[in-house]
Structure 1
Amino acid sequence: MDCRRLGEAGPVVSRVAFGNSLTAGNQLADDSAVACVRAALEAGITTFDTADVYSDGRAEEVLGAALSTVPRDRVVICTKVGRGAGGGAGGLAPERIRSCLDASLKRLGTDYLDLYQAHLYDDATPLEETMRGFAEAVAAGKVRAVGVSEWAADELAEGARLAREMGVPLVSNQPQYNMLWRVIEREVIPACEPLGIGQVVWSPLAGGVLSGKYRPGAALPEGSRAVAAKGGDNSLRRWKFLQDDTLERVQRLRPLAAEAGLTLPQLALAWTLHHPTVTSAVIGASSPAQIAGNLKALDVALEPDLLVAVDEVLADSVVRDPDLTLSRMLRRPRQA
């Protein structure tokens, strides 16, 4: 497994990370979720991403149990704090960061986190206070590096400025990024590059849509994330990935993938990793077999003609509007 430094001062992470947002404690029974983590380890994945809000903390517990027999210095453990506060005060206040961090460490069965990420932006707390909370966690030795998730470009720039002043290693952003969802390209990536902030992207397969298993006009397949995972259907519909036109265009990618000797999931993952600012891509899995199959994408160099053909097929199904960065979307007033 190829590994790279995350940002200028972050941990060395595997090019593919394993995440459990809709699997552990949700779509999968604990033994199946643990089997997926072990398959990821066997495949050479060293980096594991979760959050305290996933399945109300159960996802962290399952991950901690699965990694309990692995030497701590051989894995990179990343989790998040903030989301789930309902937008109210205290989401990323120092005292909440402090209490949530201790709870996460306990569930994960570790003394420190390699990466602690702000899960969305908290408008109710001054950013100086949020960064102070992270600085305290770093000074206490409980956190090695800090990241954020789904922040807009202006939020990232101000957060990085404060981090430098407080001596906090702010090294990463975790946005959604895939062939269909490219909202970070216009503003977020240009903002991050001079700041030394790397991208650890989630949903490289667009929640499974880019695997081709969702067919236009057909019922959602049994056992799929959209059916078996609590919240899976809602998340896919939120991003409009399940529209028939989009699903039809995804099916038209099959011959392009086959011509390159790839499956659709492999093409999607290879496309995401092809972007030079993507340090790592977070994948999930509902079975151990999915992991080994998808990781074949690591050995692929996509030809320029193939990249052009992908864009031509997907055309206006690709979402590029930077205002759809999640932190901005959630701040919009709801329509009456």
Structure 2
Amino acid sequence: MTRRAVVVGTGHYLPERVVENAEFEATLDTTDEWIRSRSGIERRHFAAEGETTSDMAAKAAERALADAGLTAEDVDAIVVATSTPDLTFPSAATMVQSKLGMTKGFAFDVQAVCAGFVYALSNASALIASGQAERVLVIGAETFSRIMDWTDRSTCVLFGDGAGALLLEGQEQPGTHRDRGILSTDLNSDGRYKDLLYVDGGVSTQSTGYLRMQGNQVFRHAVEKLASTANTALDRAGLAAADVDWIVPHQANIRIIQGTAKKMGLSMDKVVVTVQDHGNTSAASIPLALSVGKERGQIKQGDLIVTEAIGGGLAWGAVVVRW
């Protein structure tokens, strides 16, 4: 028998404010058609004044717990993937822990930008497999609207705010590729490509900074690296692309999503797409898409799912999970 991290609950939260593409036309040299044609994005959500990353993360976590029929006292650990925490420290995860009323266990953040949720899932799976935790809340939450340069039309129209959460539970499985739970992971990074996607500020430079991106270069790396990491993770699980029921990718750009599916030899009918409604929510995009896909009735128990993401660093990776 093998101990697997099985998904037992999902939830997501989106801020009330919805920003349609047309709203940018008043302040930028752009149009709804221009944004849609290059990204597939139609709208995104922005956090309200005073609404923080940990606020959204806690709301998504509450919904995941309710979906599982459990409470915060049933949880041993919280892992929050974010690049936009409320404070430099303490971690957003400890703030979520407090907001949920959870007084035991442990909580920490993972920072790998858009690949953060894949990294967080991998860490949570290892905690469960090693016996250090029985149940782990894994949350992706971002307020990227707070690090946008609103004069840069090539980036500020792409990002949104939100949060998504999965509750993982350790369960004994037979130890085959038919098991439920996380079957394999693949993580990668290459710091040589830092200048392709970064924020030009930080604590040690005593500035907040804005997001900067070389979009064409990121696109070039994304399709190749995402398809490669997904196939590597599948191979580690003893599976192939033909076995996949759903790809649930990082929701950055519809052309990247389409290119990755094509490179893997899979139809877009097997891809959960939410980028049109949420924009790029960085580390929140995969758990958001998983929760929405479940709500839509697309994702069902027993389905084989591949999630993959790439972000600043560059950092990228994939997780294979049977629902």
Alignment TM-score, normalising by the size of structure 2: 0.31
Q: Identify, as 1 or 2, the structure richer in strand.
A: 2
Which structure has more RCO (C-alpha within 8 Å, separation ≥ 6)? 2
Alignment TM-score, normalising by the size of structure 1: 0.30
